[in-house]
A and B are shown apart, each in its own frame.
Chain A
């Protein structure tokens, strides 16, 4: 009877202890293991702007099309720039003729003796030959610029990637420096994982990461590349007259802020479609 009543206590105490241990383990895993549901796919977005202004005559790419570095994205009407090049070439020829004339004149006068030509005249012809040489060089530079402008009427893809935000059509007027489309660099896909600051101590550069896209599909592999070393202090905007404007916060309840962690893909399997801005769950496996 005594042994039986002891068994009653031991059985209950044992299951209670196991329950407590399991609860603590679950709590630790849930609270401190470095993972986050707040991961975002990111990629470099290059805003493509023409280097010269003009009317767009041809757009050989389609929206969302894959382009390679150096492919033509759109053509700007080159006629004006072709004419400018002809004009610059003509100026080069004129300056060259002038320079040749003055150079020969100066050389001729330099060989004559001081009785026939005054030294003042020798000097002045020599310096006007130098000035003509400088003007000739200036014309050559102007011609190079004109040639470059003509070349830049073809707007090329700066990287391999996907055309997005294609908002340019034949007939549009393109202004130099104003972006008309974006190219998403297809080699630059990565993840920004926004980890709570409480989870950072167990997260190290180089740790293996498994990535679950919200869209499903296979689990992707990656590794921690770097941690952001700064986020904005939201409690410290400076108010008028440069005084501190500190938010009154609760003393008891505080929220963990989130710090971006950059995660590189080890390899992206074929058939997995990534778009910059997609959501994913990021689970870091610490290598203790």
Chain B
């Protein structure tokens, strides 16, 4: 996996599009979990959401590096 991505001659870290991807994934997951009523079993939904996002992004980043 390349550590940087070229866009019209600009090179940027792959982490950047990965961040956007993780964001989209998080949004998808969040709506599914919300529809299933999962957040009723969670003490602090915002903290849970944030942690979930960090996990997603961090796992993708670790896969990269």
Contact = CB atoms under 8 A, between A and B. Distances in A.
**Do they bind each other?**
yes
A19 B52 contact: yes
Contacts of A130: none
A143 to B, nearest CB: 62
A173 interface: no
A11 B48 contact: yes
B62 A25 contact: yes
Interface residues of A, number: 24
Contacts of A281: 2-4
A37 B41 contact: no
A18 B48 CA distance: 11
Contacts of A37: 3-4, 11
A11 B41 CA distance: 8
Contacts of B44: 12
A285 to B, nearest CB: 12
Most interface-central of A7, A9, A16, A20 (chain B CB within 10 A)? A16
A30 interface: yes
A9 B43 CA distance: 5
Contact of B62 (A8, A20, A26): A26
Interface in A1-60: 4, 7-9, 11-12, 15-16, 18-20, 22-23, 25-26, 29-30, 33, 35, 37
A11 B42 CA distance: 7
Contacts, number: 62
Contact of B65 (A12, A26, A212): A26
B58 A25 contact: yes
Q: Does more than half of chain B's interface fall in helix, strand or loop, or is it mixed?
A: helix
A214 interface: yes
B58 A19 contact: yes
B55 A19 contact: yes
Contact of B2 (A7, A35, A212): A212
A70 B39 CA distance: 78
A12 B48 contact: yes
Given A8-B43, A30-B61, A214-B11, 5 more contacts: A16-B48, A19-B50, A29-B61, A29-B62, A37-B11
**A-B pairs with lowest CB-CB distance, top 6:** A22-B58, A19-B51, A19-B54, A8-B43, A29-B65, A15-B51
Interface of A: 4, 7-9, 11-12, 15-16, 18-20, 22-23, 25-26, 29-30, 33, 35, 37, 212, 214, 281, 283
29 contacts: A4-B41, A8-B41, A8-B42, A11-B41, A12-B42, A12-B43, A12-B47, A12-B48, A12-B51, A15-B52, A16-B51, A19-B52, A19-B54, A19-B58, A20-B54, A22-B54, A22-B55, A22-B59, A22-B62, A23-B58, A29-B61, A29-B65, A30-B65, A33-B65, A35-B3, A37-B11, A212-B2, A281-B4, A283-B3
